[in-house]
Structure 1
């Protein structure tokens, strides 16, 4: 799941050291403000923002880097951060990006347009296999850097290392020419997976995987970070935009949500997301120290393996979806609502009943399942063994499958990264869970990553030329209402094909230490990094 929540926090006003009149004594220095934030996920493997697209990757990138633009948490409107202006031409195909003067990297190198262009070319270069490669698939020249081949065959070597669609105009200006017009492109530029890399990093990216040279509000407190350790950061005084209040930030990785929760109650951390096992007790466990997100900008799925012929029939996938009691499952998750489509509530274009196969109907599910020929083998449900709820959720869905469809179910627990790696290689046996949180508030961002044939979060490896065609039409449509209609058409196709079964949307709950007040916005969600601190 990928989530970007960079937005404006409160400006820390420096204390003034004023001499006391007549006695020569100085005022007491301002107390340093620190935060220890728990990330309930496997530790990051790299601090390269271009090679990470998980929620954990983005949370850390938010501290080390700065986006071109961001969503204003108060109004929901787009506003500039590093960008001075972002301007499309009359067709919406060529975009001119101007960056502000004065920004630099933490090694003293001035930030220029060249840093963006060279970084984006590195990310788009297929052999690098960086996770945010797919973002650039809309840029002219991307295909030459990413030759394709039929399954089972080896793709040819790239014929270029630079996309023809990126051009440096001057030190503060560059242009992006897209394959086709894309009206949403300006919104996408708030994604922190597009952050520029310093020249030294670009020359040897692997050498800087654990000692990043950022250009955001914080820098590493140590020379190098090691995977598995806390990520300790200190405020960087050279940052030219508004920074969060904390002077020191520690990101602590605790995979088990219950363990993280107990660490908070023991007073060892300042902020933690409430696990579903505690959704009924957190308000009494930590009175006056909890908050619930004003938004639910996410969706969670049951994911089919497109490479497995046992799940090839859409009718069989429909039957499995209809066998799921979403209301009961959402109640198990806590603070969750059943999903009835592929788009989160509150997003323009979201329809409350888009999915006709998302209503629980045991009799109809069984009939359709039998008509489709049933499963030719037991259903294997893969779950993340590193979480406190993975097995519980798997067994809940499995019991519904057994009781409604009469099939045998097996459960396999693996680390989340191993499940992802196996699925990426099309070698995972069985179904799994997946989730998504938008990088920018658009219906397009709930469709392109998961359902475009080369989408960078295409969990099921789904491909449908008609979907790709409608995405291109929606992207190029300058009229927002007409674009939404096109996106809704392709949502309908995806729901018919159903490579993913939508399950639920969740409002996240958090605990925060006394005197720590995480920002909570209906547009950008909860951000512990942007806490007001008055302790």
Structure 2
């Protein structure tokens, strides 16, 4: 199977933890170049591929780094930094040959060791993205350990040895967790995380271009020789404290592109920005995580209560009234735009509003331990979530006859930290936006025991075994069958409650042209052009 300079057929669409729509504060009016201005959110952690598992940092890394593989706007994967990626007969040993003309923005060459050392940094230091290496030789089930299966052959060749066959390894390698790092960052990750040096289309405008909680400014990387050369002078991500503020700046011409609009504008933005807006599905899902460490949500009592809450949420009403039909009630844990998606999995009726059944399940849980207190749904105030959270809380309150309400948290970064520290003290809104185009990506990082984004502390050995089976499948049909079996377990346990699938509700000003959105619902930055008169 020679993939040298070949296109890799992957059906459209898939998600990075879709845990943010906006964040921070700041002003779009003080950008340092004539680049494109977009909404963004303050990264939770240092800008290192192994430490970034949320959209705020992920969007920046995607602009600054190139991987072995990249994804076209429709989700098709194509070789990028890799000249070829070839498996052995059973897909357990892969040989990677790199283009020899690729450089980092500091002018140093991108060599095999820049990949192998970067990946080893993630697994040996147990960074957030370690679980993406759990199928590699040398790591444990959490992706932690020395990557003994990743070996340098020569300056521009290395091999990847897997524990089990993986027919679709190439589809995964376009995710930023698999990015290379320059020697300067490998030698000093702390500095590299604050002043990142990448090999992608863009680079930092200056060493102080990341103004924390305000914005980050990128300019074209003159050392970049790949196929995604920027058609603009750079991009600035402004970290807003509300989507309403970002939308107002778009209307005023201070922002060029938004990848989301506030709930207050959902019904009208396509008229306001007629001809410069979009409303179309992408691979993303909104969920409600109810951590299993919360009182009343452990064991059988917790399972019954999660099922009851799921059936107490009127998804049809919320998506119709708040989102004007721009969201689709969820029927599984993935996204309809992905290959292998099914809207009729056994047990999916738990995701349908059913007042009678919800009351019955809640009563069964009360028989185990009577409910007390208030059911809270935490959300970041900077993301435009208040309206749907209030609606969901009211639906739960009216159906189950309990106190339920939203719990506002100042910004996305703070909420993520509370999730990680397990101090959030409530259920919380969550979601997923594709890392790579596969339903496996919507399951493994979120629900496998100790996985990178398993914020609810879910663990089920039967589910883990099926995900391992899916990862080691020899073809797409086998992988999909195992993944769907795994989802049937999730529909019983409900580690999170699927709510609805996303549409990208984007808009742009007259200042820019050539705006398109990709399989992840993100604007294709390199293609956007600034109008000459602006």
Q: Specify if TM > 0.5.
A: yes
Q: 1: CA distance between counterparts of 2:141 and 2:454? A: 21
Name the structure 2 match of 1:322: 311
Q: Secondary structure at the match of 1:350?
A: coil
Structure 2 contact 67–180 (Cα < 8 Å) conserved: no
Structure 2 contact 216–236 (Cα < 8 Å) conserved: yes
Deviation at residue 534 of structure 1 after TM alignment: 6.0
Name the structure 2 match of 1:402: 397
Q: 2: CA distance between counterparts of 1:469 and 1:382? A: 31
Q: Secondary structure at the match of 1:114?
A: helix
Deviation at residue 194 of structure 1 after TM alignment: 2.0
Q: Secondary structure at the match of 2:525?
A: strand
Say if 1:144 and 1:181 are closer, same or farther in 2 by CA, change over 3 A: closer
Deviation at residue 81 of structure 1 after TM alignment: 0.9
How many residues are aligned here?
490
Deviation at residue 393 of structure 1 after TM alignment: 2.4
Structure 1 contact 271–528 (Cα < 8 Å) conserved: no
Name the structure 1 match of 2:136: 139
Given the alignment of the two structures, is residue 500 of structure 1 paired with residue 496 of structure 2, yes or no? yes
Among 341, 346, 349, the alignment partner of 1:350 is 341
Q: 1: CA distance between counterparts of 2:87 and 2:483? A: 21
Structure 1 contact 139–165 (Cα < 8 Å) conserved: yes
Structure 1 contact 292–509 (Cα < 8 Å) conserved: yes
Structure 2 contact 35–530 (Cα < 8 Å) conserved: no
Q: 2: CA distance between counterparts of 1:289 and 1:307? A: 45
Name the structure 2 match of 1:451: 447
Cα RMSD (Å) of the superposition?
Answer: 2.2
Given the alignment of the two structures, is residue 291 of structure 1 paired with residue 290 of structure 2, yes or no? no
Deviation at residue 90 of structure 1 after TM alignment: 1.6
Q: Secondary structure at the match of 2:96?
A: strand
Structure 1 contact 382–419 (Cα < 8 Å) conserved: no
Structure 1 contact 383–416 (Cα < 8 Å) conserved: no
Q: 2: CA distance between counterparts of 1:441 and 1:402? A: 37
Q: 1: CA distance between counterparts of 2:375 and 2:305? A: 15
Deviation at residue 95 of structure 1 after TM alignment: 1.6
Name the structure 2 match of 1:52: 52
Deviation at residue 33 of structure 1 after TM alignment: 6.3
Which one is further off, 422-431 or 515-524? 515-524
Q: Residue by residue, what CA displacement relative to the aligned partner does 1:192-217 show, whole Å, maximum 9, x if unpaired?
A: 23211111111111122221111111
Name the structure 1 match of 2:416: 420
Name the structure 2 match of 1:34: 35
Q: Secondary structure at the match of 1:461?
A: coil
Q: Residue by residue, what CA displacement relative to the aligned partner does 1:348-407 show, whole Å, maximum 9, x if unpaired?
A: 221113212011110111112112227622243242343263332222111111111011
Deviation at residue 461 of structure 1 after TM alignment: 1.5
Among 352, 372, 397, the alignment partner of 1:377 is 372
Q: 2: CA distance between counterparts of 1:278 and 1:528? A: 23
Say if 1:264 and 1:44 are closer, same or farther in 2 by CA, change over 3 A: farther
Given the alignment of the two structures, is residue 483 of structure 1 paired with residue 479 of structure 2, yes or no? yes
Given the alignment of the two structures, is residue 274 of structure 1 paired with residue 265 of structure 2, yes or no? no
Say if 1:55 and 1:84 are closer, same or farther in 2 by CA, change over 3 A: same
Given the alignment of the two structures, is residue 64 of structure 1 paired with residue 64 of structure 2, yes or no? yes
Q: Secondary structure at the match of 1:333?
A: coil
Q: 2: CA distance between counterparts of 1:322 and 1:443? A: 24
Which ranges of structure 2 fall in alignment gaps of 5 or more residues? 1-14, 19-32
Given the alignment of the two structures, is residue 91 of structure 1 paired with residue 84 of structure 2, yes or no? no
Deviation at residue 183 of structure 1 after TM alignment: 2.3
Q: Secondary structure at the match of 2:190?
A: helix
Q: 2: CA distance between counterparts of 1:170 and 1:235? A: 30
- In the superposition, the TM-score normalised over structure 2's length comes to 0.87
